[in-house]
Amino acid sequence: MKVCIVSASPKVGNKKRNIKKMKKYIDKEEADLYIFGEMFLTGYVCREEIFSLAEDGEGDSIREIKEIAEQRNCSIVFGMPFEERKGMVYNSAVLVRPKGIGIYKKNFLANFGPFEEKFFFSPGNDMPVFKVKNFNIGMCICYDIFFPELIKGLVLKGADLIVCISASPSITKIYFERVLPARATENTAFVVYSNLVGEEEGLSFWGGSQAYTPRGELIDKAEYFKEGYIVCNIDEEELKEARIARPTLRDTKADLFLDLYSIAKNKDVFNENVKIGIRIGEKIKGKVNEIDVYGNEDVAFGIKLSTGCNKINVIPSKEIKVIVDGKEMGAES
């Protein structure tokens, strides 16, 4: 798949002009996927104006960009303020394809130093994965990339390519260039990064859009502090080779994520009985409508998490066992 990653400077508050700039880059280079930076549709520093600039999935801007995607038979990723409900605006990455759109809402809003995102945006709370050509794509936005659990989650859900769009000022450049190849290496996934260029309210965006292989090797990088773009071809075979050579996905331990959740919440949310239930549930194949659980509520909760079965009958017992379709399963089955 051919990917064009753009470093460009949007005009704050001028959506029409910014769409014209997107089209200019799309017309310059033929590609399957074009990527523009965080909040590219409106500019990054919009403050209260965000609420009047925001659009939903049926807005004029997305419709216009969808027309471009249809005409060029390509997909386009860009940042914008997305209004999911009246007054609920999200810093979002929008994937526009000829036959539909996908939305990722920024999970980790930057609200420190020069950043004020929590004053204007609601935080996202999901990890969607989308299909473009033969690749599954997960998206993240700027500060998100510093949370490895988010990127790991996207890759475990099937993402082969992580698209990170950004509005990173020059003071943060060193951190991004350390963490981007790390995310590619630890997840054996392609990582591509599109950053803004130019000045907004004292922030100087450094550009430098770049791409990495699943081994963390730099494919290409755009110039710093200049508008421009890079083009790279990503190949599924590289994923296969990297994952055989360093099987981090195969060796990921789901139980550690349960422990991390408990640590973050400062309480034992997933105790040993819940984990036993999860392990039992993972061995139950196919869809089941009803399960009898001998044990306790925690074991039943773990089984529900891993099977999705809503009808679980709990029979209090010191011995833990499960009956599914007349077949008994113990804790060590």
CATH of the domain at 104: 3.60.110.10
More reliable by pLDDT, 248 or 321: 248
Q: 132 pLDDT exceeds 70?
A: yes
Tokens of 173: 């450049």
CA dihedral for 143, 145, 151, 152, sign (positive or negative): negative
Residue-level pLDDT at 31: 98
Count structural domains, the chain: 2
Residue-level pLDDT at 333: 55
In total, the chain counts a number of residues equal to 333
125 and 169 together in one domain: yes
Residues 6+ apart with CB under 8 A from 158: 129, 136
Give pLDDT tens digits for 240-270: 999 999 999 999 987 777 777 777 777 677 7
The average confidence (pLDDT) of the chain is 93
Which contacts (CB < 8 Å, 24+ apart) does range 81-84 have? Answer: 81/39, 81/41, 81/42, 81/46, 81/50, 81/51, 81/53, 81/54, 81/55, 81/121, 82/54, 82/55, 82/56, 82/57, 83/54, 83/55, 83/56, 84/56
202 and 316 together in one domain: no
Residue-level pLDDT at 193: 98
* Residue range of the domain that includes 275: 254-330
- The span from the CA of 45 to the CA of 81, in Å, is 11
Confidence of residue 311 (pLDDT cuts 50, 70, 90): confident
Confidence of residue 149 (pLDDT cuts 50, 70, 90): very high
81 and 193 together in one domain: yes
154 and 184 together in one domain: yes
CA dihedral for 323, 305, 153, 129, sign (positive or negative): positive
23 and 139 together in one domain: yes
More reliable by pLDDT, 276 or 97: 97
* Residue 317 φ/ψ, nearest 5 degrees: -165, 145
Residue-level pLDDT at 266: 73
Q: Is 8:23 a contact under the CB 8 Å cutoff?
A: no
179 and 289 together in one domain: no
Residue-level pLDDT at 331: 65
Residue-level pLDDT at 145: 98
Give pLDDT tens digits for 42-76: 999 999 999 999 999 999 999 999 999 999 999 99
258 and 230 together in one domain: no
Last residue of a domain, one of 214, 245, 276: 245
Confidence of residue 130 (pLDDT cuts 50, 70, 90): very high
Question: With pLDDT > 90 as the criterion, what percentage of the chain qualifies?
Answer: 77
- The amino acid at residue 30 is E
Residue-level pLDDT at 232: 97
- Residues marked as catalytic: 38, 106, 142
Last residue of a domain, one of 224, 245, 266: 245
- The span from the CA of 162 to the CA of 147, in Å, is 13
216 and 297 together in one domain: no
Q: Which of 218, 226, 157, 138 is nearest to 185 (CA)?
A: 218
Residue-level pLDDT at 332: 63
Give pLDDT tens digits for 267-293: 677 788 888 888 888 888 888 888 999
222 and 97 together in one domain: yes
- The span from the CA of 111 to the CA of 30, in Å, is 37
Residues 6+ apart with CB under 8 A from 150: 107, 108, 127, 140, 144
* Residue 122 φ/ψ, nearest 5 degrees: -90, 145
Last residue of a domain, one of 199, 227, 245: 245
More reliable by pLDDT, 308 or 238: 238
Tokens of 8: 């460009």
Q: CA dihedral defined by 173, 175, 178, 180, rounded to 10 degrees?
A: -80
111 and 189 together in one domain: yes
